[in-house]
Structures are given as C-alpha cells and as structure tokens.
Amino acid sequence: MNKLRSLLKLRRRPRLSAMDGFQKLLTLLLIVLSVFMLLPIVYIVGHAFKPYHELFLYPPTFFVQEPSLQNVNELLAVTARSTVPMIRYLFNSVFVSALAVLLVTGVSALCAFPLSKHRFPGAGFVFAAILLTLMFAPEVVQIPRYLVVSEIGIMNTYFAHLLPLMAMPIGVFLLKQFVDQIPDSLLEAARIDGASEFVVFLRIVVPVCMPAIATVAILAFQNSWGNIETSALFMLDDEMKSFAFFLSTLTNNLANNVAMQGAAAVASLIMFVPNLIVFVILQSKVIATMAHSGIK
C-alpha cells in the first residue's frame, strides 16, 4: 500500500528535473505571457471600482489605489430613475442570448452536415456564397435586414432580436470542417443498421463536432450579448430592448465627458463578466477545436 502511494505521488509530481534548458525557458516564457494576458482583466475589474479622482488621473494608474463602491451606487441610481427596470433589460439579454446560442449552433450544424456529407448539386456554390458573406461589413446589410424584419411583421418582438443573429457563416465554416473529417464509412454503417439521417446526425455527427459546437456557442453568445443593433433598429418599446443597449445610452447625449463615467466603468465590467464565464466553462472545447483536425 505504501509503495502504491509513493508511486502515485511520484506520478503527480511535476517533472521539472526531466526538462532541458530550452523547455524550462519556454515554460517560463508561457507563464510570463499568461500573466501579461491577464492584465486587461485586472484593469477592467479595478477600473470599475476607481473613484472619480482616479478615473481621470494623469498619467493613469493601472491598479486601483482607493477601491470604492461609488460607481456601483451611481449605476444603481441611474437605473432607479429609468422608466423601465434594469432587471427587464437584463432579462431580455439573457433570454435572447440563450436562445441565440441554441438556434445558431443548431442551424449551423444542420447546415454544415448536408453541405459536407450530402453532395447535392450546387453544394459548392452554396458553401462559397456562405463564405462570401464573411466579406460584407455589418453596415452593408442593415437596410436589407430592416426591410426583411419589417415585411414579415416581427418588429418589436423577440423574433426580431433572434432572426438577424441566426445566420453565422463562421459557424457553418467551422462545423463543416469538422464534419468533413468524419469517415463516410462510419455514416454508411449506421445507415445500414437502420439509423435515419436524424439519428446519424444526432448520435454520430453532433458528438464528434462538440468542440466546434462549443466554439460556435461562444461566438454566438458574444455576438448576442453585446448586440445593440437589433434594439436600436427593430425595437420600438424600451421594455423590449437589451441590457447592452441600455448601458450604451449611459454616456450618450451628455454635455461633458466626465459625468456618468463611473457608471459606464461598472457597466463595462457587467458586460465583460458573462463573456468570461462562458469562455472559462467552454475553453477546453475551444482548445480541442484548434488542436484536433478530425478523427484519428
């Protein structure tokens, strides 16, 4: 028993002694880079709790010296004066973002599967057209989007939040690259055993593509959570607008650049934290997306 414990301890112990000089130098460099990449997060958090005399200090300080809840109180005071409760804006953003993640990942996967494994006439042209849309700036499609949403009669509804976000060309591209790596023989074997196309998609394609699906989910969440376009163009009532749009109005139309900057700093932190949480939860899948090129 003691021998087994000693073997387990030896197995868990980092093998620093087995590293050569180059590996140790590379490990140290990666640690330094990791700390450097964490600095923006530290700055955003500290900036939200800086009092006003630190917010406008020159030269600016990286770390907060006198942490204060003054900015949080200012944001709460602003939301208390709003005609629509802040919780309503927050509910809209959470609800729309959750549905957007489900719809975007589902539509992208259902689009990638036939483009990759059902070689119908014109599949190459359709995929090329999807990739071509990546070249368009968002401003180019604002007017067509508005006309579509207006003509089908979904203005001022949650569908108007979701419809412009459902088509994500980069999601289709990532998922198609993963589906391309699935052997056709594996899918044919499932069909011979009596599996329908939906079962093949759900039981074989989706599990293999989970790393790419997680990556698409992160991109969809970021795109939806910080989106203000649908609220500005398609929502007529304030209670249908998103939390991001509400926070973007804090410093608009002010007579100076000093007022409400504390509330804006806290708002930036609020917008950042959900993105960080989603990425931390799914980051292992994102790494797998970059590391794996298909089934070995």
Confidence tier at 287 by pLDDT (50, 70, 90): low
AA identity, residue 261:
Q
Chain segment 1-40, per-residue pLDDT in tens? 444 355 444 444 455 556 777 888 888 898 988 888 888 8
Question: Which residue has 């980092």 as its token pair?
Answer: 14
Classify residue 91 as exposed, middle or buried by CB count within 10 Å of its CB (0-12, 13-18, 19+).
middle
Chain segment 35-69, per-residue pLDDT in tens? 888 888 888 888 888 887 787 777 777 788 888 88
DSSP assignments along 31-94, one per residue = HHHHHHHHHHHHHHHHHHT--HHHHT-SSPPSS-SS--SHHHHHHHHHHHHSSS-HHHHHHHHH
Give the pLDDT confidence score for residue 257 in this predicted structure: 60
Confidence tier at 103 by pLDDT (50, 70, 90): very high
Does residue 292 carry a pLDDT above 80? no
- The residue-averaged pLDDT of 123-132 equals 87
Give the pLDDT confidence score for residue 17 in this predicted structure: 59
AA identity, residue 179:
V
Confidence tier at 283 by pLDDT (50, 70, 90): confident
* 96-133 exposure pattern, b = at least 16 Cβ within 10 A, e = fewer: bbebbbebbbebbbebbbbbbbeeeeeeeeebeebeee
Cα–Cα distance measured from residue 291 to residue 219, given in angstroms and rounded to the nearest whole number:
18
Give the pLDDT confidence score for residue 11 in this predicted structure: 45
Give the pLDDT confidence score for residue 107 in this predicted structure: 92
Cα–Cα distance measured from residue 113 to residue 244, given in angstroms and rounded to the nearest whole number:
34
Cα–Cα distance measured from residue 124 to residue 115, given in angstroms and rounded to the nearest whole number:
8
pTM of this structure: 0.79
Chain segment 73-97, per-residue pLDDT in tens? 888 887 777 788 888 888 999 999 9
Handedness of CA 111, 117, 121, 123 (dihedral sign): positive
